[in-house]
Amino acid sequence: MNEASSFRRRAARRPFSAAALGVSAGGLVNEEVKRTVDLSTHLAKITTELVLSNQGHSAVQSFILSVEPDLAPHLAYIGASVKGDGEDDGLLEIQQSDIHGHSGDFYKVHLASSLAAGAQLKVKVEMTFSHVLKPFPTHITQAERQLVVFQGNHYLYSPYPTRSQTTRVRLASKTVETYTKLGNPSKNDEIIEYGPFRDVPPYSEDTMKIHYENNTPFLTIGSLTRTIEVSHWGNIAVEETIDLRHTGAVLRGAFSRYDYQRQSDSGISSIKSFKTILPASAQDVYYRDEIGNISTSHLQVLDDSVEVEVRPRFPLFGGWKTHYVIGYNLPSYEYLYTLGDQYALKMRLVDHVYDDQVIDSLTVKIILPEGARNIHMDTPYKIDRLPNQLHYTYLDTFGRPVLVVTKDNLVEHHIQDVVVHYNFNKILMLQEPLLVVGAFYILFFTVIIYVRLDFAITKDPAAEVRMKVASITEQVLTLVNKRLGLYRHMDEVVNRYKQSRDTGALNSGRKTLEADHRTLTNEISSLQARLKAEGSDLAEKVGEVQKVDSQVKELVCRSCQEAERLVAGKVKKEAYIENEKNLSSKRQEFVGRIDSLLDAL
Amino acid sequence: SSRLFAVIRFESIIHEFDPWFNYRSTHHLASNGFYEFLNWFDERAWYPLGRIVGGTVYPGLMVTAGLIHYVLNLLHVTVHIRDVCVFLAPVFSGLTSISTFLLTRELWNQGAGLLAACFIAIVPGYISRSVAGSFDNEGIAIFALQFTYYLWVKSVKTGSVFWTIGCCISYFYMVSAWGGYVFIINLIPLHVFVLLLMQRYSRRVYIAYSTFYIVGLVLSMQVPFVGFQPIRTSEHMAAAGVFALLQAYAFLLYLKDRLTKQEFQTLFFLGVSLAAGVVFLTVIYLTYTGEWACIHVDFFFPRHTVFYSHLGPFYAKIHIPIIASVSEHQPTTWVSFFFDLHILVCTFPAGLWFCIKNINDERVFVALYAISAVYFAGVMVRLMLTLTPVVCMLSAVAFSSVFEHYMGDDTRREKPPAEDSSDEDDKRNSGNLYDKVSLLTMLMLMLLMMFAVHCTWVTSNAYSSPSVVLASYNHDGSRNILDDFREAYYWLRQNTDEHVRVMSWWDYGYQIAGMANRTTLVDNNTWNNSHIALVGKAMSSNESAAYEIMRSLDVDYVLIIFGGVIGYSGDDINKFLWMVRIAEGEHPKDIRESDYFTPQGEFRVDKAGSPTLLNCLMYKMSYYRFGEMQETEAKLDFRTPPGFDRTRNVEIGNKDIKFKHLEEAFTSEHWLVRIYKVKHLDNRESLDHKLRSVVPKQKYTSKKVRKSYLFQ
C-alpha cells in the first residue's frame, strides 16, 4: 500500500521532473563503470566509480542516480563525490526526484561546476543498503553456520547507457553455496568478479544472486532514543536507550551453554560483545537496563575516545534481542558555543554504537535549558521534526524546551553533527540558585515565626510564670555580673592610684562606682520585687545575693580606704599587704558565695 | 551509613526476594495510581489462579514509597522509583533511631535515649532488615512499632487524648505496613492488664486505652487486607477482653464512689467473681488453643498455620513443611543471638533489672515488651527483629545507669566531700576507687567499641549482599561479579513471549515476576499449599509424569537454580528435599520421601543415590550435559572427574541425561540458572509418501519452475 501511495505521489509530480530530465537524459553516457559490492558485513555497500561523459550538445548541471526498485526501500545512505586528481572534492548535493515510466528511486546530483559538452567527469557514488542480506535458511541450530542470500543487479541501474562495466563482489568468507554466473565470473577467495559487460542499455536489470556464508554479527538497533540534556552549568548529559536485535538466522532448537563454552565454533554467528566509541571527554559512563547495572562491561579510555566494551547480559543469538541504556556526561565547553545571548550547540545527532551499525528508527531529544528561545536547528540531512515538548527536572518552574526529531534507517554515514541555535538570557542562570535560597529562606522564616509566636489554644499560666521568672533571673544574672565587674574595675582604679597617687582619679572612680552600684542594686531589688510578685522562691536567693553583695561592697570600700591610707603613709607597707590579703580572701569567699547562689538560680 | 555498603559495593538494586515483589507493586502504584493499585489483580502470579494484590498486601510500604516519589516528582526532583525504594529502608532506620531515642527518654532519661539511638543505629539485628535495597515491610514497620510505643507510653503518662490519637494513627500506619502489628495489639492490652493487676490503675490508663482500642480498631479495619479480622480472629480477642475488663473495673470504681460499703461489697463480690470467671475461662481457652501465645502474624502464610509454628519450635517441622522450609522460620540459635546483638544480649537483662527495680507504669510496659519479644525471638529467627529494639533500649538503660553512677559523679560532686574529710586513708581509698572506676569505665568503653567494630563487620560481611548479584574473590583479591540471575531473568524478559508461564520453585517467583516480567506459577506469597505441592510434584517426578503436570498447568518454561559449577550452596538440589516433602504432603500416593534416599537413609546425588532421585525432573534438569563437563579450568584440582559437582563435592551419578519433552532454552554463564523449554506435543505421525500423489500435478510442475528460476 505504501508503494502505491508513493507511486501516486510520484505521478503527481511528474510534469516537473520529466521536464527537468529531458535536457540531460539525452546526452550523458556512463563511459566506464567500476562497481564494488561489499557484502562482507551485514550491510550491502555498493561503491560505484563511474566516468560520465557528456555527449550531448549543451553543458549539464546535474545527473541522475537510480536505485533498483527491489533495493530502493532498503537504501539507507547515498552519497556522491567528484573524484579529482588527488583528493575528493567533498560530497555533492543530492535531491530525490523521479522519472516517469521507470520504477525505482531516483536522485538528482547537482554538480559543482557544469559539465561541458564532450567533457568527462569521474564520480564516485556510495550507497549503503540495510537488511538486504537475507539469512537462508532462516533458522539454524547453534552448531550451524549462517548462510545468507544477496539479491542484486549485475548491471548498473542507470538512466544512461553504459559503455563498459565491471562488478566486483566482496564476500564475508570463501564458502559460497551458489552464485549467478552471468558472463562467466571469476571467483577468487572472497571475491567474485563479473564483467566486463559492454554497451549495456539504460535501466537494465539482471538478478545477481549470491548465497554464501556470513557469520558477521547481524546486529540491528531496532530503536534508539538519544537524549541530550544541556545544562549551562557546564555539563551535557547524553543518554541512549537502545533496543538491539540479532537479525540473522534465528536460532532453532536448544541453546547449550556447554557447547558454547567448550567449542569455539559453536554459535559462531552469535554476538558476545561489541565496542561502542564515545567522545573522548565522556565521563561517568553508565550501562544499565531496567533491572540494574550490567556488570559485564569494560571501559577503556583512549587518547581520542572512550571505548566501552558493551557486553549484553547474554550472548545474542539469531532472533534474540536485548535492551539497554548507556549514558555519559560531557563538558559543555567542547560542544556549546556562545556569543552574548546566542548559543549554539554542535553535537553529533547520532553517535557510534558499533561498527557498521544499522538503526531502524532513531529519536533524538535535545533538552535545552529552561528559558531558551528562538530555537532553530540545522540538520546535516533531512530528518522529521516533531512538535516541541516540555521537560521538567530539578528546580524547574516552567519547563525546559525539548526538540524531538526522528529518522528511520540510519547507518554509520549518518554520524554527523547537528547544530542547534538558541537564545538564552544569562540572568536566568540565577533563577535556580535563587529558588534554593528562597526555599531555605522560607523554611527558616517559618521556623522563626513558629518559635517566636505562641500558637497554643490554651494558656498555660505555670509555664508563663516560669518563663517570666527565667527571663527575670536572666536579667538578674547579667546585672549581678555587671556589679562584680564594677568591683574589678574599682580594683584597677585603686591599683592605678597606688602608682600614680592621683587622689582625684580615685575619688571620681569611687564616685562612679557608688553611682553605678546604686543603680544596679536598685534595679536588682526591683527585679527581686517582681520575682516576689510572681511568687517565685528565687526572690529569697536574690535577696541573699544582695546581702552578700553589700558585704563585698563594704570590703571594696575598705580596701579602697586602706589604699588611701597607704598612699598617705598612715600604714606600713607590710601591714597593708597583710590587710589587703585578708580583705581579698574574704572578698573571694563572698564572691564565691555569690557565684554559688547565682548557679543555684 | 553502614547500610549503604551494598549500594557502594554493588549498585542501587533491590535485594533478595520479597523486596522484588514490593518493588513491583510500588512500581505499579507509582505508574497507575492508588485506586488502581488497590484493585490490582495480578494475573502474572499463581497461574492460573492469579492474585488480588490490593487486598492481600499490607500497602503501607508501597504507599510510603509511592508518596515520597510523588512528592519528589511534584517538586521536579526526578528520582527514579527504584532509588526511592532502595533508600527507603536506611531513611526509615534513621527515623527509627529517633523514635527509639524518644521512647527511651520517656522510660529512663536522655542519656539512655541517646545510647539507645546509637545502638539501634548499628545493631546488626536491625541492619539486616534495613540495608539499602532491602525494600521490605520490616524496614518501615520497626519505625512504626517504636513510634507507636513511644506515643503509647506518652499517652499513659499524660492521659491525654491527643497523644493517644497520635498513637492510634501511628498504629494505623503500622497495621498498614506489617503483619507484626498483632504484636502491638496484644502487648498494649497486656500492659494494661498487668497494670490493673499491679493496682496501678489510673484515670490516665483508662483514657489512653479506651481511646486507643476504639480508634485503633476502627482505623486498623480500614486496611483492606486486615478488614474485619480485628473483631473476628482470636489474636485480637485479648485486646477486646482487656477493653471490657477495663470498662468493668472503671465502672466498679465509679460504683464504689456512689454506694455504701455494704452494698458495694455484695455487688463487688458478685461482679468480680463473674468477671474473673469469664476472663479466667477465656484465658484458659486461649492458652489451650495456643493462640494466646501466638501474637505475631506472619505476612507470608495463612494465619492459622503460622500460629502453630509459633507455639513451639518443633511443631512446624513435623506438620507443615512449607513453613519449616524457610530458613527464616527456624528456631533461633544462641549463635545468631550473639551474632545479631553481640554485647547487648548480655547487658540487656541488667537493663531489665534496673527497670523492674525502679518500676513505674511505662517500665512495666518495657519489661513486658522485653519478655515477650525474647520468647518469640527464641521461636523464630525472623522475630529477632522485634527483639532488637527493646534490647537496644534496655542495654542503653544498663550502660547509661552504670556510666551515670561512675562517671557523672566522679568529675564533680564526689570530689569536694573527699577533700573535705581530708583524711589520708580516705584519700587513698578514694584513689583506689578512682582506679577501679576508671578501669571499669574503660572496660565498658572497650566493650562498646568492640560492639561497634562487630556491627560494622557483620554489616559489611553478612548483610550487604543483594543475593541477586553474587561476588567471588580471585586469588589476587580482585572481585568477580556473578550476575547470572539477572542474566537469565533478563533473557526471559527479552526473548520469550510476553505471556509465557514459567515454572520454578516458589523462592524465585517474585524475582521472575519482578525482573523477567513473566507469569509464574508459584511465588513467595505461599498462600496456596496445594499449588506449590503440585510444582514440587512436577519437579520430583520423572520426566513423563512431570510433563503431564506441566501440560496441565500450561507451563512453557522451567527455571531452576543450579550451583554445581561454581559451588553455590543455595541451589535447587539442596532445597529438593523440601519439594519432595511438600509434594508428599499433598500427594502421598505419588511421592514418597523415602524413595529419594539411599537404603542407608542418605541423600546422595552420586552413583549410590536412589534411582528415583537420579531420574527425577529436577535432577535431570540440573545435571543435563553436566556429565560431559570437565573442569578444565579448575584451579584447585586437575584430577576431578567430568561432572564433578562442586557444591556437594561428588561426581554425579547419572551422566547420560536425555530429554524427550524438554529442551534447554538458556543457561547462564556460570550455569547458575538453567531454563528449559517445555516442548509442545509432537505433530501427529507424518503421512505416508503414497498419499502425496493426491496433490495435483500442475502444482508440482509450477514448483519445479520456480525452483529452476531460483538456481538458474
When pLDDT is averaged across residues A261-278 and rounded to a whole number, the result is: 82
Residue carrying C-alpha cell 547565682: A598
pLDDT tens by residue, B65-77: 999 999 988 887 7
Q: Tell me the C-alpha distance between B174 and A91, whole Å.
A: 71
Chain B CA closest to residue A312: B487
C-alpha cell recorded at residue A548: 552578700
Does the pLDDT at position A26 exceed 90? no
When pLDDT is averaged across residues B417-437 and rounded to a whole number, the result is: 52
Does the pLDDT at position B293 exceed 90? no
Does the pLDDT at position B170 exceed 90? yes
Of A10-14, B234-238, B389-393, B445-449, least confident by mean pLDDT is: A10-14
- Quote the pLDDT of residue A211: 92
Task: Provide the percentage of residues in chain B whose pLDDT is more than 70.
Answer: 83
Tally of CB atoms within 10 A around B216: 28
Name the residue facing A258 among B468, B487, B625 (closest C-beta): B625
- Quote the pLDDT of residue A226: 93
Q: Is A293 on the interface with B (CB under 8 A)?
A: yes
- Quote the pLDDT of residue A97: 81
Does the pLDDT at position B320 exceed 80? no
Of A160-164, B465-469, B668-672, least confident by mean pLDDT is: B465-469
Name the residue facing A313 among B486, B514, B626 (closest C-beta): B486
Q: Tell me the C-alpha distance between A442 and A454, whole Å.
A: 19
Q: Do A314 and B668 touch (CB under 8 A)?
A: yes
Q: Is A398 on the interface with B (CB under 8 A)?
A: no
3 state SS of B335 = helix
Residues of chain B contacting A319 with CB distance shorter than 8 Å: 495
Q: Do B76 and A314 touch (CB under 8 A)?
A: no
Q: Do B494 and A322 touch (CB under 8 A)?
A: yes
Does the pLDDT at position B693 exceed 60? no
- Quote the pLDDT of residue A419: 92
Does the pLDDT at position A498 exceed 80? no
Q: Tell me the C-alpha distance between B616 and B597, whole Å.
A: 13
- Quote the pLDDT of residue A441: 95
Chain B CA closest to residue A206: B712
Q: Between these two residues, A88 and B406, which has the higher pLDDT value?
A: B406
Strand-strand pairing, A283-289 and A321-331: antiparallel
Q: Which residues are CB-neighbours of B239 under 8 A, at least 6 positions away? A: B185, B186, B188, B189, B213, B217, B230
Q: Tell me the C-alpha distance between A595 and B711, whole Å.
A: 116
When pLDDT is averaged across residues B268-292 and rounded to a whole number, the result is: 69
Q: Tell me the C-alpha distance between B173 and B183, whole Å.
A: 14
3 state SS of A565 = helix
Name the residue facing B483 among A313, A321, A396 (closest C-beta): A313
3 state SS of B533 = helix
Order of strands across the sheet that contains A292-293: A292-293, A283-289, A321-331, A235-246, A219-231, A358-367, A400-411, A384-391
Does the pLDDT at position B254 exceed 70? yes
Q: Between these two residues, B447 and B427, which has the higher pLDDT value?
A: B447
pLDDT tens by residue, A428-452: 888 888 989 999 999 999 999 988 8
Residues of chain A contacting B489 with CB distance shorter than 8 Å: 291
Q: What number of C-beta contacts closer than 8 Å exist between A and B?
A: 80
pTM for this entry: 0.78
Q: Tell me the C-alpha distance between A101 and A123, whole Å.
A: 26
Does the pLDDT at position A248 exceed 80? yes
Identify the contact set of chain B against chain A, taking CB-CB distances under 8 A.
Answer: 10-13, 76-78, 468-469, 481, 483, 486-491, 493-495, 514-515, 625-626, 628-629, 663-669, 671, 677, 710-712
C-alpha cell recorded at residue B48: 492460573
Of A50-54, A208-212, A296-300, least confident by mean pLDDT is: A296-300
Q: Look up the ipTM and state it.
A: 0.76
Does the pLDDT at position B527 exceed 90? no
Q: Quote the mean pLDDT of chain A.
A: 83
- Quote the pLDDT of residue B47: 81
Q: How far is CA A262 from the centre of its chain?
A: 42
- Quote the pLDDT of residue B433: 60
pLDDT tens by residue, B621-666: 888 888 777 655 444 445 567 777 878 888 888 778 888 888 888 8
Q: Between these two residues, B601 and A441, which has the higher pLDDT value?
A: A441
Residues of chain B contacting A258 with CB distance shorter than 8 Å: 625-626, 628-629, 667
- Quote the pLDDT of residue A345: 92
Name the residue facing B490 among A178, A254, A291 (closest C-beta): A291
Chain B CA closest to residue A313: B487
Q: Is A291 on the interface with B (CB under 8 A)?
A: yes
- Quote the pLDDT of residue A173: 86
Residues of chain A contacting B711 with CB distance shorter than 8 Å: 178
Q: Where are the alpha helices (DSSP H) in B221-313?
A: 229-232, 237-258, 261-289, 303-311
C-alpha cell recorded at residue A189: 577467495
